[in-house]
A = this chain, B = another copy of it.
Amino acid sequence: MTNDDFQSWVQAHQALIESALQDCLPQPGVAPPRLHGAMRYAVLGGGKRVRPLLAYASGELSGADLGRVTRAACAVELIHAYSLVHDDLPCMDDDVLRRGKPTCHVEYDEATALLVGDSLQSLAFEMLAHPGLSGDSGVQLTMIRLLAEASGSRGMAGGQAIDLESTGKTLELPELESMHIRKTGELIRASVVLGARCGEIDEAGLGQLDRFAKSIGLAFQVVDDVLDAESSTATLGKTAGKDSKDNKPTYVSLLGARQAKEMARELYDFALSALAGFGERADRLRQMADFVVQRQF
């Protein structure tokens, strides 16, 4: 597959998930209109949709039906979107810019932003419990438990809590890693596994995909730290240099930029090695690994 081919695959699937999110979110005219307008504002028209793309790539590997993967991809993106809305609130990161637009609580108000996040989380589970998502209801229940665990206090929300406590503290590398494995890694892992679960995959295959996803999730965060340290706010579409300003530990502050980039490369190599047994079926996931790691450098 050429790079051009991957570019058009990305664009086609970004359009597909955008359209599916448009449909699954309540229409702006449905009561209560302000809340529904704010939900659409927070989710639509922005973001690279990395998690949905990972689900699609993984679904291609397991021969999954596109409509099924789309529902699972909506679920992970809704969880991601809810976490951004809540993370941006004044009591958390207190950020005013996201995806090049005012954050949800700035455009609306804090109370609405709180309810937007709460409602997006409910909607994610509603999507994943849709009768058309899997031919096997038992597998589907496993998928719901996976997303709940990845989102909750031992997953994403837990990572966020550790992040809050770490502000102004010096973390060692293993602690920083443990925080990021929860904060961003678990949902990326869920995206890959849920995509594959929409098709046919055995336990050994799931184990390899899980290894791939863990590495790529961590690489994603290392790259994020490098971008945050080296990019401008205009390029990022969110406030740049915020972590160092907030005195938060990052891979760059712990290792320096050069070593952080090296670490991202090593994680990338490790991720690719986990795909070795799949042959050509995993080519999209390999391209996604490039996409995640090479974003800007």
Given that A118-B86, A141-B140 are known contacts, is A161 also in contact with B126, CB under 8 Å in the complex? no
Q: In this assembly, does A39 line the interface, its C-beta being within 8 Å of a C-beta of chain B? A: yes
Q: Which of B130, B141, B161 contacts A129 (CB 8 A)?
A: B141
Q: Is the CB of A126 within 8 A of B152?
A: yes
Chain A binding surface, main DSSP class: helix
A115 within 8 A of B: yes
A39 to B91 alpha-carbon distance, docked (Å): 18
Roughly how many angstroms separate A147 CA and B121 CA in the complex, as a whole number? 12
The verdict on A263 contacting chain B, using a C-beta distance below 8 Å, is no
Question: Can you list, as one digit per residue, whether each of A78-100 has a CB less than 8 Å from chain B (1) or not (0)?
Answer: 00001000100101100000000
Within the oligomer, what is the number of copies of this chain? 2
- Are A158 and B91 interface neighbours, CB within 8 A? no
In the complex, which residues of chain B have a beta carbon less than 8 angstroms from the beta carbon of A178? 31
CB 8 Å contact bits of A140-151 with B (1 = contact, 0 = none): 111011011101
**Residues of chain B contacted by A86 (CB below 8 angstroms):** 114, 118
Which residues of the partner chain B approach A34 to less than 8 Å between Cβ atoms? 161, 165
User: A165 — which chain B residues lie within 8 A by C-beta?
Assistant: 32, 34
How far, in angstroms, from A82 to B36 measured CA to CA in the complex?
21
Check A131 against B141 for contact (C-beta < 8 Å).
yes
Q: How far is the CA of A3 from the CA of B266 in the complex (A)?
A: 69
Size class of the A contact interface (CB-based, 8 Å): 35 or more
Interface: A20 (CB within 8 A):
no
In the complex, what distance in Å separates the CA atom of A148 from the CA atom of B147?
14
Residue in A30, A31, A138, A153 whose Cβ sees the most chain B Cβ within 10 Å:
A153
Residue A35 at the chain B interface, CB threshold 8 Å:
yes
Please give, as numbers and ranges, the residues of chain B lying within 8 Å of A125 by CB-CB distance.
Answer: 125, 144, 147-148
User: Could you list 12 further interchain pairs (A-B, Cβ under 8 angstroms) beyond the known A39-B153, A112-B164, A122-B155?
Assistant: A26-B153, A32-B165, A34-B165, A35-B157, A91-B109, A91-B110, A92-B114, A119-B157, A122-B157, A123-B152, A125-B125, A137-B137
Residues of A near any B CB (own CB < 8 A): 26, 30-32, 34-36, 39, 82, 86, 89, 91-92, 109-112, 114-115, 117-119, 121-123, 125-126, 129-131, 137-138, 140-142, 144-145, 147-149, 151-155, 157-158, 160-162, 164-165, 178
Can you list 6 residue pairs at the A/B interface with Cβ under 8 Å?
A32-B158, A35-B161, A122-B155, A123-B148, A125-B147, A129-B148
Question: 7 closest Cβ contacts across the A-B interface?
Answer: A137-B137, A122-B152, A91-B110, A126-B148, A119-B153, A35-B161, A129-B144
